[in-house]
Amino acid sequence: MSFDKTLESSRLVYKPINAGYCTDAYLGWLNDPRVNRYLEIFEPYSKKQLEDYLLAAEKNEHLLFWAIHTRDNDKHIGNIKIDPVNRYHGVGEYGIMMGDRSEWGKGYAYEASTTIIDYCFGEQKLRKITLGVVEENTAAVMLYRKLGFVTEGIYKKHGLYNGHYCDLLRMAVFNPAYE
């Protein structure tokens, strides 16, 4: 594995992802229409596809990828990543999936995001983190704005989600040390 840094916050622990996370629960998240509604998953995921994805992630040197666990019972509830990381430009692309729907609405996505962004700006010395989000995913857009992301551009009717073409917002947050 090229990346093996475990991180912690008040209620969560972030463990580097590996093939050991190829579980029925994770596979279920990927195939749950409520979880993957705005993800780039276009057909049912198989256990083999998940295993191959996780094995490739372990070897990818341009990827920072954690499994999100609750601190109190070590339950895997989602994943967060910066992929890819471009060290030359100091930029990384953010992604998060809160897979365990029983844990939605508890502020875990915000807590995880602030922890990972702070780590990337501090230890990893990134100057900018970017993301793409479907504009109608209002909960995600609100989260990203709360985290300090600003809209840099809009791709009009860019992707097909929930049966219709949606705008995609390109957003970014900047490391204050570089402003």
Tell me if 170 is assigned to some domain. Answer: no
Residue 173 pairs with which residues in a beta bridge?
129
Strand bridging mode 150-161 / 128-134 = unpaired
Q: What is the pLDDT of residues 137-159, one digit of tens each?
A: 999 999 999 999 999 999 999 99
Does residue 144 have an active-site annotation? yes
Tell me if 41 is assigned to some domain. Answer: yes
Q: What is the pLDDT of residues 74-132, one digit of tens each?
A: 999 999 999 999 999 999 999 999 999 999 999 999 999 999 999 999 999 999 999 99
Tell me if 137 is assigned to some domain. Answer: no
Mean pLDDT of the chain: 94
Tell me if 48 is assigned to some domain. Answer: yes
**Percent of the chain with pLDDT strictly greater than 70:** 98
Tell me if 56 is assigned to some domain. Answer: yes
Domain with 79 in it: what CATH number? 3.40.630.30
Tell me if 158 is assigned to some domain. Answer: no
Tell me if 152 is assigned to some domain. Answer: no
Overall domain count for the chain: 1
Domain that holds residue 52: 7-129
Residue linked to tokens 């990818």: 60
Q: What region, left, alpha or beta, does residue 32 occupy, with left being phi > 0 and alpha being psi -120 to 50 degrees?
A: beta
The model carries a pTM of: 0.94
Q: Among the options 26, 38, 94, 144, which is catalytic?
A: 144
Tell me if 101 is assigned to some domain. Answer: yes
In our burial notation (b when 16+ CB lie closer than 10 A, e otherwise), range 142-153 reads ebbeebebeeee
pLDDT band (50, 70, 90) for residue 4: confident
Tokens of 73: 């019972």
